[in-house]
Amino acid sequence: DGPAQCRCFECLRRRELEKATPAPLLMVNEWTDYRAGDAFPPAKRLIKALNRPLNTKQGPQDQYVALWYHFGNAVMGRAWSSQGKIAATFASCWYKSHHLQP
């Protein structure tokens, strides 16, 4: 992948392919209500945040997409297993960052 201003044949061809190929949509309509501190769901089909383990102070850790409705507003965040229990963090431009530990 060359720089954005590169005009070589290969970079131009790659940019045209990126424009022509729409990003795949991920459609999962599988919701369950949990609270921080509930047992972490081992059998559910969970969506990993960024599709990979994330670096944490304790080393790589699987974190998952989480959605929290705070006073009717959806706030995206991440959830993970903390000693078999659900822990999560949420951030929004409307609210201070919220960190929920079991």
Greatest CA separation found in the chain?
A: 54
State residue 18 phi and psi, 5-degree precision: -65, -40
Q: Span 25-53, mean pLDDT? A: 80
* Tokens (6 digits) for 62: 């699987």
Q: What is the pTM of this model?
A: 0.59
Burial 4-24 (b: 16+ CB within 10 A, else e): eeeeeeeeeeeeeeeeeeeee
pLDDT value at 1 more than 70: no
For position 70, what pLDDT does the model report?
Answer: 80
Q: Span 30-47, mean pLDDT? A: 82
